[in-house]
Homo-oligomer: A and B are copies of this chain.
Amino acid sequence: MALPLCALMSEIKRIPPRSGVAFVLPRGARLKVTDPQGEQVADLVAYNRDDTGEVLSNGRTLDYLSKIYLTAGDPVYSNRSRIMFEIVEDKVGRHDFLLTPCSADTFRIIYGDKNPHRGCFGNLAEALAPYGIGPDRIPTAFNIFMNVPIDSETGVLKVEPPLSRAGDYLVIEAKMDIIVGLTACSAEQSNNYAFKPIDYEITEAD
């Protein structure tokens, strides 16, 4: 019995610990992001493939959804107020959309590192460079599986271990042709002090 073409074409790829990738996700295609070992964050950024001045926007999205925690059924908007992608499946239900990708500065400022890792920010910058996207244009990311509770009285936020367990995943569907940057996050706090890989799989539209 022949499998449908879309199933045959999909392939699970692995992002090694503390690294990142970028790729095009065509309109209608789905991206499944899996935490293969549990408690690992994946930072995701997205740009309009045909005009990279259009980029995902936490401010627009949180405003239009009137909430800070996104899950299945929620659209993610660009800085031009257009829907870039939608979350279509979510096995975890807790992700962050407030914080920027960790960077050498993050490790210097928060952790006091003397020779800091370049972090998700450096990994994204390298992965996005072939698409003509410079580091200044990396926005606040959609941080899949990142667990950032907030005290509603004081506004104090904490970075706690992800709620994701081995094999948990989130699926998005592109609503325009987008360039996606995706990482296996490099920050100690975000991943309960163990760096693990992230798996991803693209399923083209039928």
A residues neighboring B (CB under 8 Å): 53-55, 57-60, 62-64, 66-69, 79-81, 98-100, 103, 105-106, 109-110, 134, 136, 138-141, 149-152, 154-158
Contact = CB atoms under 8 A, between A and B. Distances in A.
A59 B100 contact: yes
Nearest to A105: B81
A81 B109 contact: yes
Contacts of A149: 152
B152 A59 contact: no
Instruction: Kindly report how many copies of this chain are found in the complex they form together.
Output: 2
Nearest to A155: B69
> Which 3 pairs of residues, A with B, have the shortest CB-CB distance?
A59-B100, A69-B155, A59-B140
Nearest to A106: B63
B58 A59 contact: yes
A45 B51 CA distance: 24
Nearest to A68: B155
A138 to B, nearest CB: 8
Nearest to A64: B109
A92 to B, nearest CB: 14
Nearest to A187: B63
A152 to B, nearest CB: 4
Given A81-B105, A136-B54, A99 B157 contact: no
15 contacts: A57-B100, A58-B58, A59-B98, A59-B100, A63-B100, A63-B106, A63-B110, A66-B156, A67-B155, A67-B156, A69-B154, A79-B100, A79-B138, A98-B98, A152-B152
Contacts of A158: 66
A79 to B, nearest CB: 6
Nearest to A60: B100
A110 B63 CA distance: 9
